[in-house]
Amino acid sequence: MLNNRLCPSVMPPLPPGPSMPQLLWQARGLFAPLELLDEAHSTYGDLFRLPYDYPAVCVCSPTGLQAVFTAPADILASHQRGSVFDLVMGEHALVFLEGKAHQRHRQWLMPPFHGEQLQGWGNPIMEQTRRGFAHLPPGATFNVRQVMKHIALTVILQVVMGRSSGDQRDRLRSLLSGLFRGAESPLHAAALVFPFLRLDWGAWSPWGDFLRQKHQINQLLLHEICQRQEFALPRAQTDLLGLLLQVKDETGQGLSPAEI
């Protein structure tokens, strides 16, 4: 997304793109997002403007993506504050931070994601992948997305929460599974895309259900963080959550629970 803080005289011209109203584009994207992007790509090529009320383009080539990732923050903004990405990924997500805040968080995350540590997670990832495909009969047709979602969730919980998290990890699996199922519903997705649908009418409403599930997940993770900080659990030395609790910057400051 182009940085909308740029002076209009400095703003580069946008490439061509779909001319449909933003509301119609978002509505079509709820039901067939990949088909919609494929349609625009086939018409406008590897770089096209998105019909939003802020300057945004879609990049579909490796060289274009390289230019995006190496562009300075005064040219490209990571995202639009207050957008759906904040709601889903949180305001402290590394991919959305800019400038000094981004550099500081990257320094914090270097030790947990060091090469040796990543290699140590390789065997659990391969084991869960083998288990995920073991029950599928040879030659059978299956939904790859569903299988990979199950494998990814299992791996994430094992790597982040550790093998000894017990009830906490099982509860988190249940909550995340419910959140993912809701995201696949057009009604729930519509509440994320259209701000005027973000009305909390209780747990039965799409937005109310999302808020309650998100709150339960945050509370569970906060409880786990507080437990580890209070009792210094041994498993906190090996899984990702424990490693994040240990990182410090040059001043001795660590990540806050919200940042974790």
pLDDT of 76 reads 66
**Cα separations in angstroms, 62 against 33, 34, 127:** 21, 18, 31
Tell me the range of 36-50, 56-70, 197-211 where mean pLDDT is highest.
Answer: 36-50
% of the chain at pLDDT higher than 70: 84
Flag the least confident range among 92-96, 121-125, 231-235, 253-257: 231-235
Write the DSSP string, the chain. Answer: -B-TTS-TTTSPPPPP---S-HHHHHHHHHH-HHHHHHHHHHHH-SEEE--SSS--EEE-SHHHHHHHHHS-TTTB-S--TTSHHHHHH-TT-GGG--HHHHHHHHHHHTTTT-HHHHHHTHHHHHHHHHHHHHTSPTT----HHHHHHHHHHHHHHHHHH-TT-THHHHHHHHHHHHHHHHHTSHHHHHHHH-GGG-----TTSHHHHHHHHHHHHHHHHHHHHHHHHHH--GGGGTSHHHHHHH---TTS----TTT-
pLDDT of 53 reads 80
The stretch 127-134 carries a mean pLDDT of 89
**Res. 47 pLDDT band, cuts 50 70 90:** very high
User: CA-to-CA distance for 131 and 134, rounded, in angstroms?
Assistant: 5
Tell me the whole-structure pTM to 2 decimals.
Answer: 0.68
pLDDT of residue 233 exceeding 60: no
User: CA-to-CA distance for 176 and 150, rounded, in angstroms?
Assistant: 11
pLDDT of residue 114 exceeding 80: no
pLDDT per residue as tens digits for the range 141-156: 888 888 888 888 888 8
């994601």: which residue's tokens?
113
pLDDT of 4 reads 46
Mean residue pLDDT of the chain comes to 79
User: CA-to-CA distance for 148 and 128, rounded, in angstroms?
Assistant: 10
User: CA-to-CA distance for 89 and 249, rounded, in angstroms?
Assistant: 23
pLDDT of 6 reads 45
The stretch 209-232 carries a mean pLDDT of 84
Residue 30: both structure tokens together? 């709820």
User: CA-to-CA distance for 249 and 107, rounded, in angstroms?
Assistant: 7
pLDDT of 85 reads 67
């793109």: which residue's tokens?
17
| 257 Cβ neighbours under 8 A, 6+ residues apart | 221, 222, 225, 226
User: CA-to-CA distance for 47 and 58, rounded, in angstroms?
Assistant: 6
67 CB-contact burial (10 Å; exposed 0-12 / middle 13-18 / buried 19+)? middle
Neighbour count for residue 142 (Cβ, 10 Å): 11
Answer yes or no: are the C-beta atoms of 14 and 6 closer than 8 Å.
Answer: no
pLDDT of residue 74 exceeding 70: no
User: CA-to-CA distance for 135 and 141, rounded, in angstroms?
Assistant: 12
- Give which of 22, 46, 25 is closest to 35, Cα–Cα: 25
